[in-house]
Amino acid sequence: MKQCLERLYNGIIKENPTFVLMLGMCPTLAVTTSAINGLGMGLSTMVVLALSNLMISALRKIIPDKVRIPAYIVIIATFVTLVELLLHAYVPVLHESLGIYISLIVVNCIILGRAESYASKNKMMPSLFDGIGMGLGFTIALTIIGLVREFLGAGTVFGFSGPDLYGAPLPELLIGLINRWLDPNSLSESVRFWNRVLTDEIASFGPMSIMIMAPGAFFILAILTSVQNVVKEKGKKNGKDVSKIQSGCNSDCMNCKDSGCSKSLTETEEKESLQPVAAEPEDTVKVSGSKDAADKEAKEHCDNEAIEQCDNEAGEHCDNEEKEVNVEVKEPADTDGDNEAIATDADAEITVHIDNAGKKENTTKEEQTGKKDKAEGTDKKKHKKTLLEVTQEIDIVELEELLGEEEEGNADE
């Protein structure tokens, strides 16, 4: 029982899927044009999440490991279809306004993510409560976002507008109340001026309808993530564990292994498909700069944040990468020829830039020897630091490259 309550708390506050983990952003942005839509979407997702978690947990010993993802998808899709048909039958208005997004609960990262990271490893009751907790967290988040957007964009709350209540749109009403509460004589001239301007603005333009249009969703999310950034920064300063914040898809899709975005159908395929990312030689990346930005993003991600951030699975992934990086650094260090051989067409472009600066030979050689020394001089404990340095070097090379491009552009002009 204690564990179940802990799961609820975890889902609603500690690992809130929207405010902390940033998962399932597509429905979050799409349906939160009003609070009631957000509530409906959240509750539908919660039902699917709880039931699929329960089912997957019940079947966790029967489902073969290799085909677990398709099995999860079938289970989830079944519940989604059930919920959709029920909504269609009993709440047709909501079904109408949520539209296609009900069916798209199937591909919501949260559901597959929870199935994979919790329900497939735990007993039925905790899994059920994990689903309910996560679902409630999602519902609360969606309702709050919907409430804010609806209030700003349409001037209503849960569909109740000011005229129903007091005969004025809500923002105007609010300003009116504040004005009544403030004593105008005690205010300074400038405050009174701005107060008047604001009141006039709201009265003449009405609500900011952009907030319930598509761009408003992006702006709201931008504000939300910036708040997260601040919280994360503060938490880091106070020495708190902030690894969970924003560990969802938004930071780096290539690495979001445990939230279900980049799942292949079967385990073997997954490993195979990940290999090109992991095994790319460090040297190529370094010289060719943006040749395979995905790789580098992955590496940077691992180096800078993921060591603390990734949980088990992803962490292992990063470790593997680090080792491979080290090996690769040692190998091609002896000759320039080797290096040319690995480099691709993208490399040629950058080589030209460096050539322009007239120090191609020097830079590459210096860099390589430097790296070699560092690579050889490290043991496992110094590992992280060196890698960070190397990444910084990559950044410098990248900067040079960018500058080079700009210079070239100027020359063209």
Partner 1 sequence: MNNYIVQLIVIALGSSLISNVVLSQFLGLCPFLGVSKRVKTAAGMGGAVIFVITLASLVAGLLYEFVLEPLGITFLKTIVFILVIAALVQFVELFLKKYLKSLYKALGVFLPLITTNCAVLGVAINNVNLEYDLLTGVVNGFATSVGFAIAIIILAGIREKIEFNDIPKPFQGMPIVLVTAGLMAIAFCGFAGLI
Q: Which residues ranging from 178 to 207 are in contact with partner 1 (CB under 8 A)?
A: none
The nearer residue to partner 1, 23 or 170, going by C-beta atoms, is: 23
Decide if residue 154 touches partner 1 (CB under 8 A): no
CB of 64 to partner 1, least distance (A): 17
Decide if residue 242 touches partner 1 (CB under 8 A): no
Decide if residue 29 touches partner 1 (CB under 8 A): yes
**Residues in contact with 35: Cβ distance below 8 Å, sequence separation at least 6, in sequence order:** 143, 146, 147, 150, 157, 158, 159
Decide if residue 62 touches partner 1 (CB under 8 A): no
52/128 Cα distance (integer angstroms)? 8
Nearest to 64, CA basis, from 258, 352, 244, 265? 265
Candidates 134-142, 185-193, 268-276, 328-336; binding stretch for partner 1 (CB under 8 A) = 268-276
Work out which of 86, 93, 265, 396 binds partner 1, going by CB under 8 A.
Answer: 265
Answer for the pair 104, 26: CB distance below 8 angstroms, yes or no. yes
Answer for the pair 282, 325: CB distance below 8 angstroms, yes or no. yes
CB of 95 to partner 1, least distance (A): 12
181/177 Cα distance (integer angstroms)? 6
Work out which of 70, 92, 163, 184 binds partner 1, going by CB under 8 A.
Answer: 70
Which one-letter DSSP state was computed for residue 108?
Answer: -
**Residues in contact with 402: Cβ distance below 8 Å, sequence separation at least 6, in sequence order:** none
Work out which of 4, 58, 59, 77 binds partner 1, going by CB under 8 A.
Answer: 77
Q: Is the dihedral of CA 314, 317, 322, 328 positive or negative?
A: negative
Candidates 21-29, 143-151, 368-376, 384-392; binding stretch for partner 1 (CB under 8 A) = 21-29
Candidates 23-31, 200-208, 351-359, 378-386; binding stretch for partner 1 (CB under 8 A) = 23-31
Work out which of 58, 59, 60, 78 binds partner 1, going by CB under 8 A.
Answer: 78
CB of 300 to partner 1, least distance (A): 10
36/98 Cα distance (integer angstroms)? 10
Candidates 39-47, 120-128, 224-232, 317-325; binding stretch for partner 1 (CB under 8 A) = 224-232
CB of 244 to partner 1, least distance (A): 15
Site mask, partner 1, residues 91-130, x = CB under 8 A? --------xx--xx-xxxx--x------------------
Nearest to 12, CA basis, from 129, 134, 130? 134
Q: What phi-psi label fits residue 240: left (phi over 0), alpha (psi between -120 and 50 degrees) or beta?
A: beta
16/22 Cα distance (integer angstroms)? 8
Decide if residue 209 touches partner 1 (CB under 8 A): no
The nearer residue to partner 1, 126 or 404, going by C-beta atoms, is: 404
Work out which of 191, 227, 327, 348 binds partner 1, going by CB under 8 A.
Answer: 227
Burial label for 389, CB within 10 Å (0-12, 13-18, 19+), is middle
**Among residue numbers 277 through 336, which ones bind partner 1 (CB under 8 A)?**
277, 290-294, 297
Answer for the pair 75, 55: CB distance below 8 angstroms, yes or no. yes
Please name the amino acid found at residue 408.
Answer: E
- Angle 247-249-253 (CA atoms, 0-180°, nearest 5)? 115
CB of 217 to partner 1, least distance (A): 7
The nearer residue to partner 1, 5 or 214, going by C-beta atoms, is: 214
The nearer residue to partner 1, 4 or 104, going by C-beta atoms, is: 104
Cβ–Cβ contacts within 10 Å for residue 320, how many?
14
Answer for the pair 53, 115: CB distance below 8 angstroms, yes or no. yes
Q: With contacts defined by CB under 8 A, how many residues of the chain interact with partner 1?
A: 71
Decide if residue 263 touches partner 1 (CB under 8 A): yes
Please name the amino acid found at residue 275.
Answer: Q
Work out which of 270, 311, 331, 393 binds partner 1, going by CB under 8 A.
Answer: 270
364/393 Cα distance (integer angstroms)? 11
Candidates 75-83, 155-163, 175-183, 364-372; binding stretch for partner 1 (CB under 8 A) = 75-83
